[in-house]
Chain A
């Protein structure tokens, strides 16, 4: 009896732990998709990556969409405010920034808000002011602070977009507690601020998808039925009147810009050229009604759109590809439900 009572006791503990911690034991399901439309000769989504994560933004899964199958990315990822980054990259770059701060007896930054990387540089933008954004030279692995004169506006900002244009770094930030943006133009030769511009904007333009930086370096804002543009190289502000209000801005990898307005079953859109002249106005059909836009990418004259449909019957997520020249849906693949995680980014 003595022997069995301890066994029973620990069995009871085990059962109770199991009951209260069943989430440890759920089985993840693999991502499954179904191609619904394919009017292309090549698979247009073969170089895309889908990012899924749970509500804590700590359990992240990345899926590469190869030509004929989906493969799960093994590299651990870490989330920051505006996206995800491979953990090893974050650790490397963050440590470089911290070492710079330590060498200057400055406080180390604590929360990565935005990040940019190309072949030459990495930009790590932490919560705070311009002083909390750092540039890392990838060739020399040297971190640099951005230097500036005392006259510039050093408000707390959320850096929403980072772009390199004409060998210059452009930071587009939203001022904390204001409906106002700040554009910093930084030389990549000496990491000094060349120009700083504060621009009042509307409440709608503050939203993440309602402003952007074009490949030419122009900062653009969707403000009701007009597009406000700012050229940091000429310090000129311009306006383009639009036929309808847009809430989505996607600069293309060519010179054009896609502006969209989401409706229940479609997206009305406007295409602009690099001088902000309207090329085209029409609409695109959505793969299913009541879509939430997850991500938009405009490249190779095609619009790639990831959507989420909360009231779905068959599929919660779709990746749709539109040829914008003739506004046709040329490819559409649906994704089955992913347990415990939601599609949050498309890269």
Chain B
């Protein structure tokens, strides 16, 4: 009698309660995932055309341009002497403040990717890529599995032809994809190694192309198999490419590396953002 009073629920009812709680948690995380699919600047777009007439900027002006366009100082310095600098920066700004509505599409029964669709449910291009080189790393946060927004990451290996090496999903092998594809995702971050020569980044890209292509995908691939390229996944592929050259991009040094772990690395600097909080690394 006492045991029945202390534990009033039968096993069936407990199971039902657990399932219900899990569903509620899943729904709540699902709503959060939906809401976190795109970061819209919470401030107004301002007129930067006069500022863009200058060719030398103070730190504060670089910060303004970054907040208004998503383009960071290294890229600004790279393009500020080109003839079309002003028009390009204004174009970046237009994209940065455009209206984006995010819709989740299924990749599999449990994994979804976000796109922005027009009124006819067609995926639309959302921004222009800033100039990029071999060895640059592309991130987005627009994929989620079981309501975990894990995102995706790729490595630029042929900038002249716009090719990014990626480990995509279960059932595939690592492969070259077109860089322009990334402009259809509502979130994006371009990063690169700080203080690294173009030559070394070319070497990293060449190594990745040679040794990290056509490797089967497995989400269970762990970092501890440092020289084992029998399987990989998107962030492990990037980690493997740089680790070969003595650079450990895993910010928390765990046995599993995620896109977030890479983006949080102190070795990397941000060059361009779209749809993500520019003040955060992830």
Contact = CB atoms under 8 A, between A and B. Distances in A.
A13 B26 CA distance: 10
B161 A177 contact: yes
B32 to A, nearest CB: 13
B19 A9 contact: yes
Interface string B2-39: 00000000001000100110010011001000000000
Contact of A177 (B30, B122, B160): B160
A26 B122 contact: no
B158 A176 contact: yes
Contacts of B158: 176-177
Nearest to A110: B214
A127 B160 contact: no
B160 A178 contact: yes
Contacts of A2: 12
Interface string A155-186: 01010000000000000001011110000000
Contact of B122 (A23, A158, A341): A341
B123 interface: yes
Given A16-B27, A20-B104, A24-B106, A340 B161 contact: no
B134 A177 contact: yes
A55 B184 contact: yes
A92 to B, nearest CB: 21
B214 A206 contact: no
Interface string A102-131: 000000001100000000000000010000
Interface residues of A, number: 34
A21 interface: yes
Given A20-B104, A110-B173, A110-B214, A26 B19 contact: no
Contacts of B159: 177
B121 interface: yes
Contact of B120 (A177, A178, A337): A337
Contacts of A24: 106
Interface in B157-196: 158-161, 163, 173, 175-176, 181, 184
Interface residues of B, number: 36
Interface in A301-347: 316, 337-342
Contact of B115 (A6, A55, A203, A337): A55
A73 interface: no
Given A16-B27, A158-B161, A206-B161, A6 B16 contact: yes
Interface in B105-152: 105-107, 112, 115, 120-123, 134
Interface of A: 2, 5-6, 9, 12-13, 16, 20-21, 23-24, 26, 54-56, 110-111, 127, 156, 158, 174, 176-179, 203, 206, 316, 337-342
Interface of B: 12, 16, 19-20, 23, 26-27, 30, 103-107, 112, 115, 120-123, 134, 158-161, 163, 173, 175-176, 181, 184, 202, 205-206, 209, 213-214
6 contacts: A9-B23, A12-B20, A54-B123, A111-B176, A177-B134, A179-B160
Closest 8 CB pairs of A and B: A55-B123, A337-B120, A110-B214, A339-B121, A340-B121, A177-B158, A176-B158, A23-B105
Given A9-B20, A177-B202, 14 more contacts: A2-B12, A20-B104, A21-B106, A23-B105, A26-B121, A55-B181, A127-B213, A174-B161, A176-B161, A177-B134, A177-B205, A179-B160, A337-B122, A339-B121
